[in-house]
Structures are given as structure tokens and as C-alpha cells.
Amino acid sequence: MTLYQPESGYSYNSDSLFLYDFISRFNPKGELLDVGAGCGIVGLLIGRDFTKVNVSAVEKQELFIKYAKKNALINKIEYQLFESNFLELEEENKYNFIVSNPPFYPQGVQKSEDEILLNARYASNLPLDAFFKKVSRLLKPHSHFVFCYDPSSFGDICSALEKVKMKICDVQFVYPKEIKSASLVMVHARNGSKSMMKVLEPLIVMNENEYTQRIQEIFKKTDTQSIKCQL
């Protein structure tokens, strides 16, 4: 998949590819909403590979709206894009899946003065409680919410999901190397679920100075090519 991105500023990274692979475990189908689409990578990969899903997305930054539309067009993927702040999105539609690689840099981290980076990276732009409350309103009964986040916020994630009566069904932590601390957590939650939480095998990115076999498989499956350009 060819994906156009801005020449400078925020670009998607491997987190989005890992999230897509995690979402794939749950065989998405029906109505799906990608929150904070950026250039469209997560939603478009799902639209490419899962024929029983109807992909919609929401993105508030004008620059990324242009790139997401361009990428949907060149990859010939049907894609409805809402040009809105997610928290202000009209609530007429209900979804079987809501997925997101949201801004999750915590408070206290030195913030960029670049407005695009500020909106794309920092959790203060989409606080957990407000984020999850909105998600719960837009999900159909017994539906799926799949997202990634800063692993140091896992306790806050559990608490915020409980407030909106959602339960974590599956969780996977990503580690740069076996001896390093986790750098990402991926969460699959559902409303109305009574399942016990399943902690999946850790996803290890590097072994010595090479990508692990599992990571190589993810890169091969996603098969993305990024082109930097100015629209």
C-alpha cells in the first residue's frame, strides 16, 4: 500500500502497523470507525484486507484530512471521512468496531511547539475519560474497541474503561527488546463482556540488531510504502 505523508512534522510509525496486526486478531467486520486517522493508515489497511468491513474515520487536522483522502483514492478503498474533532462528532451512527492510535504522550513530557505534532502526540488533546465516554456512546451493544497507548498509563486505562462499563478482553505489550521496558500497550475492550482479561504473548521488536521474525512478518503483511510530499 502506498501512503502519502507530509514532508515534515508527524508521520506514522511502526505503532500503527503493530496496532493493525493486533486488530486483525478480531476479524473486523460491519461498521468500523478509525479515530484520529492521520494519513489514514490503520483504517485503510483494514479496508484493504477485510472485505466485510465498512470503514469510516474521523480526523480534525486539515493537513491530514487531505492526505487521508488522497491515500484512500490512490489505493481504491471506500472510505468515509468525518472532518471533525472526535469529541464533537455527531452521534447518529453506531459502530461494531472503533479503533484508534490516539495521542498518548503524557503530561510532563516536553511538548513540541509544532501545532500538528502537538495535536497528534499529546494525551491532553484527547483525555482518557472523555475519549472512552464518547466511544461507549458510539458502539453498538457487545461491540469492540481496539487501541494502543502508553503502557505507563495502563492503570488509568483500566479505571477509565470501568467508568463506562467496558471490559478489557485482550491486552498485548510491545517491547523494543526483551531486556527493555514496554514501549506500547494494545488493548481490546468490549461493552457488555463477561470474559476474563487475556494477556497475550509479548511482542518483541528487536533481537540484537535485527527485527524479530514476528515483526518481519508484520512488516511483510502490511506491505506499506511511504512517500513524503506536499499536497
pLDDT tens, position by position, 68-121:
999 999 999 999 999 999 999 987 889 999 999 998 555 554 444 444 444 445
* Torsion sign across C-alpha atoms 69, 74, 79, 80: positive
Residue 230 CB-density burial (10 A; 0-12 exposed, 13-18 middle, 19+ buried): exposed
Partners of residue 148 on adjacent β-strands? 186
Q: Name the grid cell of 64.
A: 491530514
pLDDT tens, position by position, 18-46:
999 999 999 999 999 999 999 999 999 99
In this prediction, residues 9-19 reach a mean pLDDT of 87
Name the nearest CA neighbour of 19 among 7, 61, 10, 38: 38
pTM above 0.85, yes or no: yes
Name the nearest CA neighbour of 5 among 66, 56, 60, 50: 66
DSSP state of 29: -
Q: Which helix (H) or strand (E) holds 17?
A: helix 14-24
